[in-house]
Structure 1
Amino acid sequence: MHNIPHKITQVTTRIEKAALHANRNPQDITLLAVSKRQPEDAILEAYRSGLRHFGENYVQEALAKIERLKLPQAVWHFIGPIQSNKTSQIAEHFHWVHAIERLKIARRLSEQRNPKYPPLNVCLQINIDNETTKAGVTPEDAEALALQITELPNLKLRGLMAIPLRVVIPQHNDDAFTRMKQLFKRLKKHDSLSTIDTLSMGMSTDMESAIQQGATIVRVGTALFGPRTN
């Protein structure tokens, strides 16, 4: 009904071509299907077609999907802004969180993560273009926050995430992706940040540019599912 297998093939082909053009192994890049506001039958079709990583922005919507779909091998990523009163649900039900920007939220997630579970994988959200209307820690403050997060027992700092300025021409984000790569490489050199291995950036329109600059996770919604249902 949604023709998702064909769309997955199209997207994975784009990823493979971009990776090879950048002299990278396509297997090092994870396709994260942004399933927010998408119907459950579309998610199920994507899962049955081989996708395993799904990204959600809204806690209640995501919890309903997780409970009803019961996809045993699915890896659920929370990619939206995090409210303090939602941290316990996120800590319990998700495998990844991509939008850490405050130590308070990180502490709550660590405290509310069941220690019987593996540590929650987290990424710092970087406000790479210093937009006043966008969430995220500044590049200058990223290292300090990263070091504080490494002290939290039930979190595992995996890397960085960014959403650059919305532009008409995708290539105009090349500079932002380059700066993200430089920040990523700088943090990885720190002895206390050895777990950093993830650079989450790039979407349906600009994934090629992001892959060229080292993205290890690309977050793709429209190219897989079509426009969101609202």
Structure 2
Amino acid sequence: MAHRLLPIALLSTAAAVTACGGGGERARPVHGTAPAEIAGVGYTADQLAQALLVRVPGYRRAGEPDSGEYGTLKAVQNAARLQRDTVLDKPQCGPGRPGADVAADVPAALVTFAKKGMTVTETLMGLPAADAEKQVNARVPADCLRFRTKVGSHRAEHRVVETPKGEIGEGSRTVGVATVSGNARTRTWYVVFRGRHYLATITLHGPTATHTEAERLARASRLQAGRILP
């Protein structure tokens, strides 16, 4: 079992916005810290949890951090559940497309912060440099830059933008999604960057989410992880 990183993020956001008008995913309590390690990667889920952001100015932490194997994180499981309930007008843009995957058993940790109408989610994953580089170098296919979703009777339209490869950490990519569902308009920005033996994602979601803030949060994540991870 493997999980595609950005397609899951894009589709789960689309489904969440369609189904509940933009409510963000909340972090769940820690339900286990997997001892799993990947050859050549010294970071366990416990170590990654220690390296998560402790605070985000203007936000409050939404529950306790979650850690363990990537596929067991509640946010990842909820995303997969949302995907099963979501109908895309372009099925080829779903998680089944070939490309770089994140294996379900990699060590990972996740935390979410929230304020009215906005959420910030940080995820750290223990990955070999080559696998992390694949995620940073991946790009959203041109025919998937616009798509529609339906969850039950709720419909939404989504427009994706992607910036050139960035220089956060040891390389980064930034993707934005603008969503319209009825009269509701929301934006989601994803920043994916790699560090030494890990991959990080920052997800900023809400009506006033911006590219600038998402990348500022990613730099704060990089700084915090650099203090903790050897």
Give the TM-score, by structure 2 length.
0.30
More strand by share: 2
Report which of the two structures shows the higher radius of gyration computed on alpha carbons.
Answer: 1
Structure 1 length-normalised TM: 0.30
- Relative to its length, the structure with more helix (as a share) is 1
